[in-house]
Amino acid sequence: MRFTVNRDVFSEAVSFAAKLLPQRPTQPLLSGVLLEVAGDAVTLSSFDYEVSSRTSVTAQVADAGRALVSGRLLGEIAQRLPHADVEVSLVESRVQVRCGSASFSLPAMPVEEYPQVPKIDTVSGIVPADVFAEAIAQVSLAASKDDVTPVITGVQFEISENALTLTATDRYRVATRRIDWESQDGSSDLTALVPSKVVTEVGKTFSNAGQVQVSIVKDGERELVAFTGGNKTVTSLLIKGNYPPVGRLFPDGIDNYAVVNTSDLVEAVGRVGLVLEREAALRFSFVEGQVTLEAAGSETAQAVEVVDAHLVGDEMIVSLKPQFLLDGLRSTHAEFARVGFTRTDNPGKPGPVLITSQRSKDDADEQSFRYLLQPNLLLR
């Protein structure tokens, strides 16, 4: 095996292939990146039996062949190579990397023992890459980081005839976003629970791809999803289990809400929250014309700030964890945010707060993004 390739092209390809490699692989082989050289292209792949990455780049091929080499090490080397064409070759059991005056010799792993990287030929649907990336950024942060309940560590994909809805929760908040979906195989009412780590990386990687092809395969033997944009593909096994019915937590309508300037409230929460101890909540008092933020920290530290707000309906007092609130406000991606108040059977206890985006003080958005938050657990 021997080929020559542009340094920047090679570095980007290796970085992509190695990005989703496991931190602690169950086998040394699974820490590798597979180089497959044929025709005028090099295909770089990684696979750990759960997640795979694959990309192909054009190269000057002298000898076709395959080699398996440490992905992390090759990625670090590729990022630091001088600005010259890169020559990669397999000599006996060593992978040689030469670029300008730099030369590296890496041990090759037994390629014949490497698992078959998944290939999916069908396409379920297509989504605009930029909108898909924005939706992922808005929703995935609400997924649980606690592996004790694996089912809520993922992002739920729900596909109807012409829409894809992404949903995530960690029990304390629920984020959901609906985007357009162009079906390619005529199927609808599909669901897929995808690990949030994979979804987040897909959003970053494919944001400028123009469009992303999404394939969901459930054929008995395997349940997986594939994302393809340009010359890159990521596949992942789906998380098994029933996703909690968090959609029913969202109210049908809200007539008691406040409209605030998003950046003003974000900055105020950041300032007032400085005196709070960890896990403590901020107190928000909404009246017509303003919202007052109050924080009581350790010993005698206190903070108060007032932000302009337009209130519709009754005055309201709620206590919310600042970081969860900031996540919701920032995810609106709008100049103004609507903070909606729901009711509970207990008149003295406010229900969950619904955060949505608003184009102006008076003009509500279509609410394709919704973020439901309360201090107490949403799920039991």
Banded pLDDT at 147 (limits 50, 70, 90): confident
Q: How far apart are CA 198 and CA 120, in angstroms?
A: 17
β-partners of residue 216 are 225
Range list of β-strands (E), 2-40: 2-5, 32-38
Least confident window among 67-71, 103-107, 197-201, 347-351: 347-351
Whole-Å CA distances, 324 to 149, 169, 266: 20, 12, 11
pLDDT at position 345 is 77
Average pLDDT estimate for 99-103: 96
pLDDT tens for 156-215 read: 999 988 999 999 999 999 999 999 999 988 777 889 999 999 999 999 999 988 999 999
Q: How far apart are CA 282 and CA 129, in angstroms?
A: 37
More confident residue, 25 or 261: 261
Average pLDDT estimate for 278-291: 92
pLDDT tens for 13-48 read: 999 999 999 888 889 999 999 999 999 999 999 999
Res 152 pLDDT > 70: yes
Q: Amino acid identity of 333? A: H
Q: How far apart are CA 223 and CA 221, in angstroms?
A: 7
Smallest CA-to-CA distance from 206 within 357, 19, 372, 2 is with 19
pLDDT-above-90 percentage for the chain = 79
Structure tokens at 211: 């469009």
More confident residue, 122 or 343: 122
pLDDT tens for 326-339 read: 999 999 999 999 99
Least confident window among 127-131, 221-225, 324-328: 221-225
Average pLDDT estimate for 72-94: 96
Banded pLDDT at 101 (limits 50, 70, 90): very high
Q: What are phi and psi of 50, to 5 degrees?
A: -120, -50
SS3 content of the chain, % helix, strand, coil (to 5): 25, 45, 35
Q: How wide is the angle at C-alpha 249 spanned by C-alphas 322 and 152, nearest 5°?
A: 70
Structure tokens at 29: 């082989």
Q: Are 246 and 174 in contact (CB under 8 A)?
A: yes
pLDDT at position 186 is 78
Banded pLDDT at 380 (limits 50, 70, 90): very low
Q: How far apart are CA 239 and CA 161, in angstroms?
A: 23
Angle of the 129-139 helix axis to the 322-331 helix axis, nearest 10: 170
Contacts of 61 (CB under 8 A, 6+ apart): 2, 3, 37, 38, 39, 40, 41, 42
pLDDT at position 222 is 81
Q: How wide is the angle at C-alpha 33 spanned by C-alphas 27 and 34, nearest 5°?
A: 105
pLDDT at position 301 is 87
Q: How far apart are CA 193 and CA 154, in angstroms?
A: 6
